[in-house]
């Protein structure tokens, strides 16, 4: 049984995550600030976290970037085009949005070692 000074080991966590259908991070009281390593979106809620095809949470990505075991966007450019189309508006014009994503996306884990 889990008491005050015992942290469940990783296998126990995985099992609990499955049973309660919450991510391991949420189960531990969200000690880590999860961010999608593909698009940079904060993952504040388990409903936004991607899952492996077998139903396990994959806490590295949002469910829009990683679905059914596959990455949705094949390149930074593809993702940037999509994001610019969705987030830009009068106060955040497309050129500004594109500059922002061009500066930030390549620093995320998923893209870091892939392309410039
Ligand atoms: Zn994402």
Q: Are 40 and 108 in contact (CB under 8 A)?
A: yes
* CA 6 to ligand 1 centroid distance, Å: 33
* CA 20 to ligand 1 centroid distance, Å: 24
Q: Regarding beta strands 57-62 and 66-67, do their DSSP bridges make them parallel or antiparallel, or are they unpaired? A: unpaired
* CA 54 to ligand 1 centroid distance, Å: 19
Q: Is 98 helix (H, G, I), strand (E, B) or coil?
A: helix
* CA 114 to ligand 1 centroid distance, Å: 16
How many other CB atoms are there within 10 angstroms of residue 35's CB atom? 18
CB contact set of 39 (below 8 Å; sequence gap of 6+): 62, 64, 65, 73, 79, 83, 105, 108
Query: Domain extents for the chain?
Result: 10-71, 76-112
* Residue 1: pLDDT over 80: no
* CA 37 to ligand 1 centroid distance, Å: 7
Kindly give the interhelix angle for 94-104 and 76-87, rounded to the nearest 10 degrees: 140
CA 16 and chain centroid, separation:
20
Q: What is the pLDDT of residue 9?
A: 87
* Residue 103: pLDDT over 70: yes
Q: How far apart are CA 22 and CA 111, in angstroms?
A: 27
Q: What is the pLDDT of residue 115?
A: 53
pLDDT tens for 43-79 read: 999 999 999 999 999 999 999 999 999 999 999 999 9
Q: What is the pLDDT of residue 34?
A: 96
């Amino acid at each position: 049984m889990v008491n005050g000074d015992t942290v469940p080991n990783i296998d126990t966590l995985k099992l609990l995550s499955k049973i309660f259908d919450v991510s391991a991070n949420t189960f531990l009281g969200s000690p880590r600030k999860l961010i999608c390593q593909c698009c940079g979106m904060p993952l504040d809620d388990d409903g936004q976290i991607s899952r492996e095809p077998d139903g396990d949470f994959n806490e590295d990505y949002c469910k829009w970037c990683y679905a059914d075991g596959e990455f949705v966007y094949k390149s930074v450019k593809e993702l940037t085009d999509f994001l610019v189309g969705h987030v830009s508006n009068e106060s955040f014009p497309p050129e500004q949005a594109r500059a922002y994503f061009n500066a930030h996306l390549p620093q995320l884990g998923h893209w870091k070692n892939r392309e410039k």
